[in-house]
Amino acid sequence: MKQRLVRSLDDLVTLEQAVLASAQASLSKLQDLLGRDGGLSALAALKFGEAGCDPLDSSRSLNLVEQLNQSFTYLASIAATAWLFEHHPDNAPFILNLGTAPGSDIVSQDGTIAAETFAATHPGSNRKLEKDVAKVRVMDAVHKYVFFLSPVNAKRVDFDGVKVVRLSHDCLRGIAREDV
Q: Answer yes or no: is 153 within a domain.
A: yes
Percent of the chain clearing pLDDT 70 (strictly above)? 95
Q: Answer yes or no: is 43 within a domain.
A: no
* Domain extent for 123: 89-172
Q: What is the pTM of this model?
A: 0.91
Q: Answer yes or no: is 168 within a domain.
A: yes
C-alpha distances out from residue 108 to 4, 27, 65, 149, Å: 12, 35, 30, 20
Q: Answer yes or no: is 154 within a domain.
A: yes
Q: Answer yes or no: is 84 within a domain.
A: no
pLDDT at residue 168 in the model: 84
- Please give the tally of structural domains in the chain: 1
Q: Is the pLDDT of residue 98 over 70?
A: yes
- Residues 94 and 177: their CA atoms lie apart, in Å, by 30
For the segment 7-35, what is each residue's pLDDT rounded down to a tens digit? 999 999 999 999 999 999 999 888 888 88
For the segment 132-157, what is each residue's pLDDT rounded down to a tens digit? 999 999 999 999 999 999 988 877 67
